[in-house]
Amino acid sequence: MKQVYLALLLSVFAAGALPSVHAGFTIIGLNTTVTLNPNTSASVTDILRVSVSNDSISQYSQDRLALNLTLSQWQNLVGPALVEHIINPTGSVYHFNFLPGPLLDVGSGGKIAYLYLTYYVSNVTHVNQTAPRVFNYSFDGTVFNFEHAASGGVLGQNTTLTIILPSNSRIVSVYPPPDSPASGFLSGYRNVTQLSWYSNEPLSKFTLVYDVQQSLQGEVVSFFGQVYSALGGFVYLIIAAAIAIFIFYTYKRANK
């Protein structure tokens, strides 16, 4: 089933404009949250708000209870916009999950439901070490999969993009200025680790650069990780030899 998910994701070529109507289902909103990780990957959550007409309520409820439906079958039901995400899936996408939420009352004229898609994307940022325990990250704008307007990439109607930075981050530069927090612009986004852009925001020249200060504990863990990567299983032989020497030395001293 994962292969089906990835095949569908890799077939996406552009994010469609909202709303998207398909056989009684209308996608009326998209909220994408990108959580950046220190290892240059990102976890992504897409939340689609779908309006369900009265004629399609029974079909949605029935399909939601059928837990064995594939993403392809859900796409046939809701429409191609289901997999037209902001994040471009041409890179490595893994740990993909899809959850259709329950129907919610909105008064007359049908109901709404939230569809949740979560997945990981690799190589979302580029990183360079600029000082001891300081790493500079730059966001790779090519992972975006925006709707295209005359001026280039732009967020669709009723669309929100939120980026969450790693802890201990300091924003160096960001463009265009995020819609939230609006007050961050005056302070140079000091102590800000979550940025949001809203509908119709032109992002064709998107830039996000930030520094992350690694803790001393993180530096130690990273050092031993690099040592293990370089030496592999030979590390265990070195440790075993050191323990053997220590035991031999202790034994000799005890028998003097």
Tens-digit pLDDT profile for residues 225-245: 554 455 566 656 767 777 878
C-alpha 115/C-alpha 46 separation (Å) is 8
Mean pLDDT of the chain: 78
Cα 209–Cα 219–Cα 195 angle in degrees, nearest 5 = 25
pLDDT value at residue 141: 83
- Percent of the chain at pLDDT > 90 equals 34
- With cut-offs at 50, 70 and 90, classify the pLDDT of residue 17: very low
Residue 113, sorted as left (phi over 0), alpha (psi -120 to 50) or beta, turns out to be beta
pTM listed for this prediction = 0.74
C-alpha 71/C-alpha 9 separation (Å) is 10
pLDDT value at residue 14: 33
Residue carrying the six token digits 């994962």: 2
Non-local CB neighbours of 92 within 8 Å, separated by 6+ positions: 121, 122, 123
H/E/C letters for each residue in the chain?
CHHHHHHHHHCCCCCCCCCEEECCEEEEEEEEEEEECCCCCEEEEEEEEEEECHHHHHHHHHHHHCCCCCHHHHHHHHCHHHHCCCECCCCCEEEEEEEECCCEECCCCCEEEEEEEEEEECCCEEEEEEECCEEEEEECHHHECCEEECCEEECCCCEEEEEECCCCEEEEEEECCCCECHHHHCCCCCCCCEEEECCCCECCCCEEEEEEECCHHHHHHHHHHHHHHHHCCHHHHHHHHHHHHHHHHHHHHHCC
> What pLDDT, in 10s, does the model give residues 106-163?
876 789 999 999 999 999 999 999 988 799 999 998 888 766 666 667 888 899 999 9
What single letter denotes the amino acid at residue 158? N
Q: How many residues are recorded in the chain?
A: 256
- With cut-offs at 50, 70 and 90, classify the pLDDT of residue 26: confident
- Percent of the chain at pLDDT > 70 equals 73
**81 pLDDT above the threshold of 50:** yes
Distances (CA, A) of 18 to 72, 111, 126, 199: 20, 18, 31, 10
> What pLDDT, in 10s, does the model give residues 186-222?
678 888 999 999 998 888 889 999 999 875 554 444 5
